[in-house]
Structure 1
Amino acid sequence: MKIVYLATAMACAVAAPAFAQSTIDKPECIAPANPGGGFDLTCRVAQTGLEPHLTAPVQVTFMPGGIGAVAFNQFNTNRTDDGSAIVAFSTGSLLNIIVGKYGAFDENDVRWLGTAGADFGAVVVRADSEYASLKDVMDDLAADPQSVVVGAGGSVGSQDWMKGALLMREAGGTPMQMRYVAFDGGGDAIAALLGGSIEVYTGDVGEMVPYLESGEMKVLATLSPDRLAAPFDQIPTAKEQGYDVEWTIMRGFYMGKDVSDADYQAWVDAFEAAYATDAFANVQAERGLLPLNLSGEALTASINGTMDELRAIATEAGLIK
């Protein structure tokens, strides 16, 4: 199972003057989880990558709760017109909208702004784990699903749960057989893995860079269609190990639906200027992301198509009817 984005988007770089700077008063990026996970990573891309293109530095603020639900609701109630703030989202956020975890609001209640890049799912264990390969995990899932404690930053129906569910299905079982522990963000799930509370983390490749460097964890498989570039080039994909599981993650930002066109365009201009530079591509690579550069109307169109595909997947998994 996979989420596919327009192939042209992976290499898209909008021709904009790299020296242009947008004037935004006290720019802020909201990471809607605790520090250390994918939303944190996404905001750091904006913080570093947009620095040359804004007249003030981007401040990162954490707003945990409901894997993005608290932030989504706040920007649909009392911050709908906040022109200084952007909020990190991922493909998992879109899935949460679909299954109703963000309440009555949907994808039409925010303004989709720009992308940070593309990330991919990963199957991760501690460095000293008894699991030496993805096959070891899959064999245990097939023999006794309850013997494997899987955890991630999201409840049942989230994108991290979905990764585990797809692995469970590939092992010959059903998603509801999986022994799954939910955490409020990837940082908390990583801490639980390192502390021994869970055995397998179905997270994201981009989150792994500092932990691979420290030798604390090992990635048994990436859920990408092909092997990724360094530092992940030595990690096999699930597909090449014989398991047909893919999960591509769009990482990006939205704003409140009542933000003025002028404020919205100032941010779009900053992203488009950044996309045109090698420096932004380097920031993406350092964070384990591939270039998926979409902003404004192009991103909104991509989101609409993605929502249709995710609704089909959620229906297949029994999450919605």
Structure 2
Amino acid sequence: MRRDTFLKSLAALAAAGALPLPALAAPNLKMLIPANPGGGWDTTGRALGKAMLDSKQADTVTYDNKGGAAGALGLAQFLSGSKGDPNSLMVMGAVMLGGLITSKSPLNLMQCTPIARLTTEYNVFVLPANSPFKSMADVVAQLKKDPGSVKWGGGSRGSTEHIAAAMIAQKVGVDPSKINYVAFRGGGEATAAILGGNVTVGGSGYSEFAEYIQTGKMKPIAVTSAQRISSVNVPTLKEQGIDVELGNWRGIFAPAGITPAQRKTLTDLVVATTKSASWAEALKKNDWTPAVITGDTFSKFVEDDFASLRAIMAKSGMTT
């Protein structure tokens, strides 16, 4: 058989489904994490990357940590350096929205391409093991007596724990602009400050404090969820008479300038990853609540959350 006839025969067989088509190569992905190592975004990005590899959705995943300014430094790098790259992703979430609002940043997150919300995690407030306080009631009593004497430690200005601290103050009759909030560049620094007793009370997602709570080095005193979190089993703020509920969601964006087809490919890849055993293991380990939404639904969610956070923060005196 002549070579051209042979090739035509193969093409016809493939078109008819008699021969398997070659599988598409898994992509080599780059994951920008706009925070220092050790925090929630870092944990999320690396857990997602591992699940992508484990489920064969990606051939390789490389990570780039660029912390600072509640994610704004990483966002600036992503906007300028990854435009049009269909193999780049950035971890982000509610903390980035809050940071952009408080800093009045000129950066426009929505110039990037929304891919998916992944999880929701609620904050837990903890005391250092050697704290003279024993409960959130003790903290509130001191807050009412002398707001500046209570040092709240957590992520960057505008983080969910910062917003929650301001909301707590407001709900118990304290001027939220008087709270003494100490912002740290990453979860690792905040954890060290709490363990060292350099702050009165610390706040973050449970996953960042889990090992220290379990070993008794931190005492959990409240969670910001509607119901108790089983792994922590401490009273919610609402149970303690403080009407505050606030979740910290995390998601994935792609760069500006990718095509609709490229966006769909990345979205399908991320959704497939969230259905993997590896991702299920990460959810359980970190006590994350799955909250996957994609496409225009995710875009609208981000825009609505921007507006909601801006209103909460303005009411709490955090945007002046």
Query: Shared fold by TM > 0.5?
Result: yes
How many residues align? The count is 297
Q: Which residue of 2 aligns with 1:118?
A: 120
RMSD: 2.2
Once the two structures are superposed, residues 165-207 of structure 1 have per-residue CA deviations (whole angstroms, 9 ceiling, x without a partner) of 1122223211121122121122211111112221211222232
> Are positions 1:203 and 2:201 aligned together?
no
- Structure 1 residues 48 and 131, CA, compared in 2 at 3 Å: closer, same or farther? farther
Instruction: Look up the SS of the partner of 1:274 in the other structure.
Output: helix
Under a length normalisation based on structure 2, what TM-score does the superposition of the two structures give?
0.85
Once the two structures are superposed, residues 266-290 of structure 1 have per-residue CA deviations (whole angstroms, 9 ceiling, x without a partner) of 2211222133345533321211211
Once residues 218 and 177 of structure 2 are traced to their aligned partners in structure 1, the CA distance between those partners, rounded to angstroms, is 27
Once residues 89 and 283 of structure 1 are traced to their aligned partners in structure 2, the CA distance between those partners, rounded to angstroms, is 17
Of structures 1 and 2, the one scoring higher in RCO (CA 8 A, sep 6+) is: 1
Once residues 24 and 215 of structure 2 are traced to their aligned partners in structure 1, the CA distance between those partners, rounded to angstroms, is 37
1:92 counterpart (90, 95, 109) = 95
Contact 1:124 1:220 in 2 (8 A): yes
Q: Which residue of 2 aligns with 1:249?
A: 248
Q: Which residue of 2 aligns with 1:12?
A: none
Once residues 118 and 75 of structure 1 are traced to their aligned partners in structure 2, the CA distance between those partners, rounded to angstroms, is 23
Q: Which residue of 2 aligns with 1:295?
A: 294
Once residues 314 and 129 of structure 2 are traced to their aligned partners in structure 1, the CA distance between those partners, rounded to angstroms, is 36
Once residues 55 and 178 of structure 1 are traced to their aligned partners in structure 2, the CA distance between those partners, rounded to angstroms, is 45
Once residues 22 and 193 of structure 1 are traced to their aligned partners in structure 2, the CA distance between those partners, rounded to angstroms, is 48
CA drift at 1:92: 1.5
Q: Which residue of 2 aligns with 1:274?
A: 273
CA drift at 1:320: 4.2
Structure 2 runs not aligned, ≥5 long: 1-22
Once residues 318 and 167 of structure 2 are traced to their aligned partners in structure 1, the CA distance between those partners, rounded to angstroms, is 13
Contact 1:75 1:256 in 2 (8 A): yes
Structure 1 runs not aligned, ≥5 long: 1-20
* Identical pairs, percent: 28
2:58 counterpart (55, 59, 82) = 55
Of stretches 252-261 and 186-195 in structure 1, the one that deviates more from structure 2 is 252-261
Structure index of larger Rg:
2
- Structure 1 residues 25 and 296, CA, compared in 2 at 3 Å: closer, same or farther? same
Q: Which residue of 2 aligns with 1:238?
A: 237
Q: Which residue of 1 aligns with 2:44?
A: 42
Q: Which residue of 2 aligns with 1:150?
A: 152
